[in-house]
Structure 1
Amino acid sequence: MTIAIGDKLPTATFKEKTADGPVEITTEQLFKGKRVVLFAVPGAFTPTCSLNHLPGYLENRDTILSRGVDDIAVVAVNDWHVMGAWAQSSGGMGKIHFLADWDAGFTKALGLDTDLSAGGLGVRSRRYSMLVEDGVVKSLNIEESPGQATVSGAATMLGQL
């Protein structure tokens, strides 16, 4: 079953690369008592993710935060090394959280996993964005095609804040 507006996020632990090395961050640490924009991509460094989806959130970071959002995070089914390299190369390190859902546990618990094996990617996340308040989904935007980043893009999220 796919997560829906009004649902509480499942418990999960991610890995994130920081200046001090990898750290574990739980859903409770990230979302408890906070208003957070979370978006997901099928894979770090993939064309739509790197050229269309992530840049909108980085460019609009300050505007998003000025609208009462405490944090912004991107999650992908990649390991923390890849997510850290993506954070570094995109200029996003320290601006938003780059969360590694290395085993797709969180993604599967949301019901937002997809099998992209035909394209050589294996099990990945569907592309989506959501506004989460104190661990509860307040808005949810799921792309129908992994090659699109409009429904789940920063402009849509800004319109919902």
Structure 2
Amino acid sequence: MTIEPGQTIPSVPVKHVTDQGVTDATSAEILGSGTVVFFTVPGAFTPTCHLNHLPGYLAAADQLKAAGVDKIVCGTVNDHHVVKAWAEATGAGTTIEFLADGLGKLARELGLVRDLSGGGLGLRFNRASLLIRDGVVEVVNVEGAPGEVTSSGAPAMLEALSSR
């Protein structure tokens, strides 16, 4: 079951990747205070995630902050080494924080897990975005089709913020 507005972000062990390095943390520590935009992607360096989803949030970061967002966090089911390399390769690490959910525990807890075993990728995050205030989910946007970035992209999140 997918997490719904009004529910609290679960506390699951993850790796927190920032421009300062990698630390052990919980999802509640990373996502639980302030106004947070959390977007999830199937995988670092995968075509849609790398060329569309992450760059959209990077380009809209100033607008999101101006709309009251304290931090932008990208979650993916990859190991923290890959996530760190992706943050560095895209230049996003100074603007966006990353949550490496290597075992997919948070993806399962949020009900945002997607089985991509047929393509050799295993269980991953579904492409989605959440607006979270002080650990409570206000908005959940889950993409309906693979390769799309419409409801989970930065423009949709900006629209959600402006309507609140």
Same fold per superposition (TM over 0.5): yes
Residue 5 of structure 1: how far off its partner (Å): 1.1
Return 124-133 or 142-151, whichever deviates more. Answer: 142-151
The equivalent of 1:83 in structure 2 is 83
One-letter amino acid of the counterpart of residue 78, structure 1 = N
8 Å CA contact 1:39, 1:130 repeated in 2: yes
The equivalent of 1:133 in structure 2 is 133
Q: Say yes or no: does 1:36 pair with 2:10.
A: no
The equivalent of 2:148 in structure 1 is 148
Distance in 1 separating the partners of 2:92 and 2:84: 10
Give ranges in structure 2 of 5+ residues lacking alignment.
Answer: none
**Structure 1 stretches of 4+ moved >6 Å:** none
The equivalent of 2:14 in structure 1 is 14
- Count of aligned pairs between the two proteins: 161
Residue 91 of structure 1: how far off its partner (Å): 0.8
Distance in 2 separating the partners of 1:52 and 1:23: 27
Residue 117 of structure 1: how far off its partner (Å): 0.8
Distance in 1 separating the partners of 2:44 and 2:50: 7
Superposed, 1:62-77 pairs within 5 Å as: 62-77=62-77
8 Å CA contact 1:16, 1:84 repeated in 2: no
The equivalent of 1:54 in structure 2 is 54
Residue 6 of structure 1: how far off its partner (Å): 1.1
RMSD: 1.3
Distance in 2 separating the partners of 1:155 and 1:13: 30
Structure 1 pair 113–55 and aligned structure 2 pair: CA distance change class (3 A): same
8 Å CA contact 2:40, 2:127 repeated in 1: yes
The equivalent of 2:101 in structure 1 is 101
Residue 62 of structure 1: how far off its partner (Å): 0.9
Structure 1 pair 2–18 and aligned structure 2 pair: CA distance change class (3 A): closer
Secondary structure (helix, strand or coil) at the match of 1:93 reads helix
8 Å CA contact 1:38, 1:132 repeated in 2: yes
8 Å CA contact 1:3, 1:111 repeated in 2: yes
TM-score (norm 1): 0.95
Return 132-141 or 10-19, whichever deviates more. Answer: 10-19
The equivalent of 1:3 in structure 2 is 3
